[in-house]
């Protein structure tokens, strides 16, 4: 299937691991150019080296930045503009996960969740608006099934991803007249480094994985590649009449 992404310029926050890294790989497969934004220089450079092993001629680079800092988002967009002269796609994939009873939630923990998952998405999108309007580009946000329904002992995370869901829908209306499409994916549990760390913290990681998978009608959790494939589709010309949509990637969990 021709997706029309050849030569498109893509910025991916949280692109050095998990869903973001898988999305970067899929975009490169389609002939796009990719800028990965992340907080850690070493991880970012390792991600670029990993991608260039499979795509030695690909145009991909790492821009260090923390989505919680508005000025970092502006800097990353400026680096893209200096290098490639524009931006066609923004993927807001950076995020953090935390669970626990609301009784135990500290102000610092709440601030970090909201600063990363909500403000980070707002700030980087805001920094990209001028570039995206000029190319009639696309935004794909990574929300969560937890932003669509409630999860036990996960109130702050659910609230943050619920904000991303409604931000997506509202921004899609705001930018429609400029030809900019805005959509989101809402993954269930995906085997990312964050999920692996969560499982390794359990007394029996394999049993914990079985219990996690048991709630999904398909009987397993997802892969980063499965989530990334939907991101790439939503950014592509094949999704040209789709905006303001929230697509579940959850093995039937919210059916």
CA distance 18 to 86: 26
Do 245 and 178 touch, CB atoms closer than 8 A? no
Annotated active-site residue 97? The verdict is: no
Which value, in Å, is the radius of gyration of the alpha carbons in the chain?
Answer: 17
Per annotation, catalytic residue among 97, 123, 152, 157? 157
Q: What tokens does 200 get?
A: 């390794």
Of 235, 219, 114, 126, whose CA–CA distance to 174 is shortest? 126
Q: What b/e readout covers 168-183, taking b as 16+ CB neighbours within 10 angstroms? A: bbebbeebeeeebbbb
Sheet holding 246-249, edge to edge: 60-64, 33-38, 9-13, 89-92, 138-142, 181-187, 246-249
Crossing angle between the packed helical segments 205-214 and 193-200, to the nearest 10 degrees: 120
CA distance 32 to 201: 37
Kind and range of the H or E run holding 250: none
> Where in the sequence numbering do the catalytic residues fall?
157
């Amino acid at each position: 299937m021709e997706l029309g992404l050849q030569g498109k310029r893509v910025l991916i926050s949280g692109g050095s691991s998990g869903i973001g890294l898988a999305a970067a790989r899929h975009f490169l497969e389609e002939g796009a150019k990719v800028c990965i934004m992340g907080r850690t220089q070493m991880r970012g450079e390792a991600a670029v080296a990993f991608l260039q092993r499979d795509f030695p001629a690909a145009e991909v680079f790492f821009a260090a930045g923390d989505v919680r800092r508005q000025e970092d988002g502006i800097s990353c967009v400026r680096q893209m503009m200096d290098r490639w002269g524009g931006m066609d796609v923004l993927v807001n994939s950076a995020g953090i996960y935390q669970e626990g009873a609301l009784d135990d939630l500290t102000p610092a923990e709440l601030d970090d969740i909201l600063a990363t998952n909500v403000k980070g998405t707002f700030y980087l999108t805001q920094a990209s608006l001028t570039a995206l309007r000029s190319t009639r580009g696309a935004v794909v946000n990574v929300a969560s099934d937890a932003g669509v329904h409630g999860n036990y002992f996960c109130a702050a995370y659910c609230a943050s991803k619920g904000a991303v869901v409604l931000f997506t829908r509202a921004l899609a209306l705001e930018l429609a007249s400029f030809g900019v499409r805005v959509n989101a994916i809402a993954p269930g549990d995906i085997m990312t480094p964050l999920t692996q760390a969560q499982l390794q913290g359990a007394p029996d990681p394999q049993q914990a994985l079985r219990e996690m998978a048991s709630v999904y009608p398909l009987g397993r959790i997802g892969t980063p590649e499965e989530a990334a494939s939907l991101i790439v589709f939503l950014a592509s010309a094949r999704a040209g009449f789709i905006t303001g949509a929230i697509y579940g990637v959850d093995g039937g969990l919210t059916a």
